[in-house]
Amino acid sequence: MRWPQGHPHDPPPGGIDLSVGSVMAVAGALAPIIFLSDWATANPGLGLAASIAVPLLVAALCGLFNGVLIALLGVQPIIATLIFFISGRGIAQVLTNGNLQTFTNPDFTWLGTGRLLGLPVQGWIALALTITIALVVRRSLYGRYLLSVGGNERAATLAGVPVARVKITTYVIAATLAGLAGMIVVAQNSASDAARIGQLMELDAIAAAVVGGAALSGGRAPIFGALLGAVFIQLMGYTLIANGISDEMTLIVTAAIIVLAVWLQRGARA
Amino acid sequence: MIGTLLRQGHLAVWVALAVLILFGTLRYDNFASAYNLSSFLGYNSMFILISVGMCLVIMTGGIDLSVGTVAALASVVAAMLSPLGLAVALPAGMAAGLAAGALNAAMITGLRLPPFMATLATMLAAKGAALWLADNRTVPVDWTSDFTALGMNKVADLLPWTILVALVAVVIAWVVVDRTPLGRTILAIGGNAEAAHLMGLKTRRAEVFVYLFSGACAGLAGVFLASGYGAGQPLEGAGWELAAIAAVVVGGTLLTGGMGSVTATVAGALLFGLVFNLLNFENGRGTISLSANWQSVIRGAFLLIVILLQARLARPVPKT
Amino acid sequence: MPDALLQMTGITKSFGGVPALADGTLSILPGEVHAIVGQNGAGKSTLITILTGVYRRDGGTVRWQGREVDLRSPREAQAAGIATIYQELTLVPQRTVIENIVLGYEPKTRLGMTDWRAAEARTRAVLGRFGIDIDPHRPLGSYPTAIQQLVAIGRAAAMEAKLLIMDEPTSSLDEREVQVLFGVIRQLKAQGTSILYVSHFLDEIFELCDGVTTLRDGRTVGAARIADLSRLDLIAAMLGRSAEDIRSVGMTELSGQSRAEGGAVVLEASGIATGRRLRKLDLTLRAGEIVGLAGLLGSGRTEAARAIFGMDRLTAGTVRLADQPAAITSPRAAIAAGMAFLSEDRKTEGIIPDLSVCENLTLALLPRLARMGIVDQKRERRIVEGFIAALGIKAAHMDQPIRQLSGGNQQKVLLGRWLAIEPRLLILDEPTRGVDVGAKREIQAIIKAKVKEGCAVLLISSEFEELIEGAHDIVVMQEGRSVTRLSNPGVTEDRLIHAMAAGAPA
């Protein structure tokens, strides 16, 4: 017999990553440290490569840490990623002694300010990654496994899905992308301020994913929806500010849009 | 009994608290001084308040991400009304918190939005409202009125008024959870929301209550902030919600709801405050110098240790 | 004829334009145990959810104690004296037994606080009445399901309900617990409480009930005294067929199996144990053979399946799979070795509700459909199309979310998930539980066909007919041990029950 389902308080089986902002800060702080070092000034080519690769690797390790806590030790995602949320920014500040690092490195800043075929490089990067991830989720074994783990973890385990591996991979990917985003922010500003990079970014990311229609309880992930959501929230912010609407009103409007989006989705799913 | 306490993490948090206090007392001369005690309690009364509010919300299986910015909003409201005295500013600050709580409750029980999203929206909106009211500045309080008495005065030069007010909130929460049908309903919702509804419990009323209570606690914390630090601070409160969640978790309350302890949550909040306090003393000794940056790193590491301990302790006991 | 306690007449209800109930009628007398039967989708649950105030009816009347009423919420229904024991236990496992008994109806002190002393007294009185001796201060979840079920009934009794609705109350009880439950039901009945009893187990209905209402396709098609009916009459009414039809084809689709002689040994488990629930099991399974696993609930049948499938770690013994030297330590390894396991718990261990029929069906097969990590979707869809046709899965299209399918069709998709990997060994745990009679027969036919192809099947079932007609051999378990192996032909229901109860064949 079936009884009414779907109370909003069922613990969401899907994960969440609160640490993305902090991971951005770590990667963003690390990159200038590397290419401003004596070694990198002596070997500009290698230095640039290392200043991109090492922060990404460190970000991936942060994701691995989250993933291991969640997948192998069974810590709830919101708690596990809370650890980096609290301490990650501190680590970045320790790395930079809390100082603002400014630099001029045209090769690196190209990531944030360069243009390709008239469009910003970072736009190309976002687009390329979005397409890749959408394809991965739709077409690949990993993507299907990801959706099945989000939808019903026990059933997925019984069907032979390597659940722990899928979860760890997911947190590693999320953290690596956050690391990349952190470096783009730094490249854009030609400066790295560990206290500010990616601040409250996790909330923006969640809001974007929600507005774009990722079912918050996991199991469905419209990647293009999330991109559209992000673009929409940003555009709206710019538009409101350009029209003389203040920052604070923009926050309130964003809040209203999140509520509207979630409410509409509930209606569609019921 | 001790086994149950251990499994729920209650005992662990009290033991850890006792060990840290003992450590501090033995190692630092002024640790056990009246001055340190009263400033410690004064500062942490805000966190005790929001942690207790959060604790009730989490017991229902919900979450309230808005407490930090709601406290900031309340601090602005209270600071603006401070010329009219504490008797006006305090209820006004709490009313701001209650309004935010009512908004959360309406979205969660009325529109049936997931608490995470609903309170996320309120978090953003409250920040916007605080900045708008304060015109993007900190709002100085009126020092000539009696408003600052709340944050500055102490009973017998030892206990700040704020900690006493916080204590009242703790007692209310404890009585509600342990002694009233409402409290059982709160725990039942967290344990099995559908069952609670089908059992005919007044689940909606209980949910409305916890979000209102959490909002009121956050509002009061904002009044403390303005009164104790002399200004309404629209940008304060970032990350408070996560500190509160951390305190609740350290206190052994399950994030999935259905179980938990108000008193252990208070211990959890004190534990986090104590780590800071001890670090300050350690810096004061001059043997090592940890910058402020290290504090959050150590706090994160501390949370990690507690979580790892709980992951071991809370492992489900095989059914007999 | 005394006045009815409850009289529902001409109840209609649609969900999103789809009628779930076209003409629901139900009449219950004071102090009777009344059964309600019908296939899945017949409208039983809709009728009951309207009665319990979870859903509102579109049309029709409800008379309760002679007065027309409109019950708008579970709380209103409970206040009127209608209590419900749901199939999936709807109590709060983290909280104590006392709390679960009094929640929502707490005795209060003068100050409005909960009077825990009175609550405990009330709890002890209720438990004492039913002869349940447990510590009411412990969390409900620390007790076995049967106790939890009885506590749920205790809660209803404490509320002094006039009508108690029970939805499949015995589905997770063993025989002894069922008898305790029946004792409690008879006691309640003697005190004048009416019971509405919903069950797939016809034996129980004939043992316990006074009257029965049959639903089919959203309509009440019959209401009778049990004494006036035979089992066959009842099945015929549920299916909408004549009793003769059914008599001629046997009760299950598994009957009339011939054993493929001399099949190679596929699985050999010797002395396996995983803990208290599974202590020592010996089992040999050959290709083209169905071996049944019988035993009371708690005898370790499901645990045996879990151990063989690599879900639980062995503490003793060995599982040897033909041509497979390595030990199986995870479901993933078991699948790679050619095993499949259809869990009894469709909802939590089977379906991925938001994924489509197609995605659910190919989940176990997926690694074989992927090249360099990319799923070959053309091949995938072709395979799924094949299974939808072969298994008679009724879905709008293969991209429909599986949660929208009926229980029987979900079960067929899950069966398809396992057949798709072409297993050498198929472990089926209650494959036909909770699916309607029609789908049940289809599933049994599919299993039979698979065995003919040489697949070995380990069949766990609580239905004696399914085991006796279907299995070539039946391994009987007791308290985690395999105690005897009965061979067909020659197994009778009496022999099987005796073996399960006493451990020695009659």
For residue range B223-266, what is the model confidence (pLDDT) as tens digits? 999 998 888 888 888 778 888 888 888 777 766 667 778 888 99
pLDDT at position A10 over 70:
no
Average pLDDT (B95-122) is 91
Distance of CA C334 to the CA centre of its chain: 26
Closest residue to B120, CB basis, from A7, A94, A203: A203
pLDDT digits (tens, 9 = 90+) for C308-319: 998 888 888 888
Interchain contact, C332 vs A1, CB within 8 Å: no
Average pLDDT (A111-137) is 81
The owner of tokens 């389902």 is A5
Average pLDDT (C162-191) is 82
Is B10 within 8 Å of B2 (Cβ atoms)? Answer: no
d(CA C387, CA C361): 9
d(CA C43, CA C47): 6
Count CB atoms within 10 A of the CB of residue C196: 25
Superfamily assignment of C250-338+423-506 in CATH?
P-loop containing nucleotide triphosphate hydrolases (3.40.50.300)
Is C358 within 8 Å of C380 (Cβ atoms)? Answer: yes
Interchain contact, A159 vs C88, CB within 8 Å: no
Q: Per CATH, is C6-247 categorized as 3.40.50.300?
A: yes
Looking at CA atoms only, how far is residue B241 from chain C in angstroms?
Answer: 26
Average pLDDT (B16-43) is 86
The owner of tokens 């997770």 is C172
Average pLDDT (B34-45) is 87
DSSP state of C114: B
pLDDT digits (tens, 9 = 90+) for A68-91: 988 888 777 877 887 887 788 888
Is C13 within 8 Å of C19 (Cβ atoms)? Answer: yes
DSSP state of C160: T
Judge whether C144 is closer than 8 Å to chain B, CB to CB: yes
Is C424 within 8 Å of C393 (Cβ atoms)? Answer: no
d(CA C38, CA C205): 13
In sequence order, the 6+-apart residues with CB closer than 8 A to the CB of A270 are A6
Of A34-38, A121-125, B6-10, the least confident: B6-10
Judge whether A87 is closer than 8 Å to chain C, CB to CB: no
Query: Of B38, B225, B228, B206, which Cα lies nearest the Cα of B148?
Result: B228
DSSP state of C356: B
Supply φ then ψ for residue A20, to 5 degrees.
Answer: -60, -40
Average pLDDT (B44-53) is 94
Helix (H) or strand (E) holding B90: helix B86-105
Q: Where in chain C is the domain with CATH 3.40.50.300?
A: 6-247, 250-338+423-506
pLDDT digits (tens, 9 = 90+) for C97-108: 888 888 877 787
For residue A237, what pLDDT band results from cuts at 50, 70 and 90? low
Interchain contact, B193 vs A258, CB within 8 Å: no
Is A161 within 8 Å of A148 (Cβ atoms)? Answer: yes
In sequence order, the 6+-apart residues with CB closer than 8 A to the CB of C80 are C64, C69, C71
Distance of CA C331 to the CA centre of its chain: 23
pLDDT at position C488 over 50:
yes
Q: C489: cis peptide before it, omega within 30°?
A: yes
pLDDT at position A144 over 50:
yes
Mean pLDDT of chain A: 76
For residue C15, what pLDDT band results from cuts at 50, 70 and 90? confident
d(CA C297, CA C433): 14
DSSP C300-352: SHHHHHHHHTTSS--SEEEEEETTB-SPP-SHHHHHHTTEEEE-S-HHHHT--
Compute CA distances B129 → B75, B126, B164, C149, C457, whole Å: 12, 5, 29, 51, 66
Chain B residues closer than 8 Å to A80 by CB = 307
Closest residue to B195, CB basis, from C77, C91, C106: C91
Interchain contact, C114 vs B188, CB within 8 Å: no
pLDDT at position C336 over 50:
yes
Of A151-155, C212-216, C324-328, C408-412, the least confident: C324-328
pLDDT digits (tens, 9 = 90+) for C173-183: 767 778 888 88
d(CA C283, CA C269): 5
pLDDT digits (tens, 9 = 90+) for B128-157: 899 999 888 888 888 888 888 887 787 777
Interchain contact, B200 vs C90, CB within 8 Å: no
Chain B residues closer than 8 Å to C155 by CB = 199
Subunits adjacent to chain C (3 or more Cβ pairs under 8 Å): A, B
Token pair listed for B136? 């993007």
**In the prediction, which pLDDT does C262 show?**
64
Closest residue to B125, CB basis, from A82, A216, A255: A255
Is C286 within 8 Å of C270 (Cβ atoms)? Answer: no
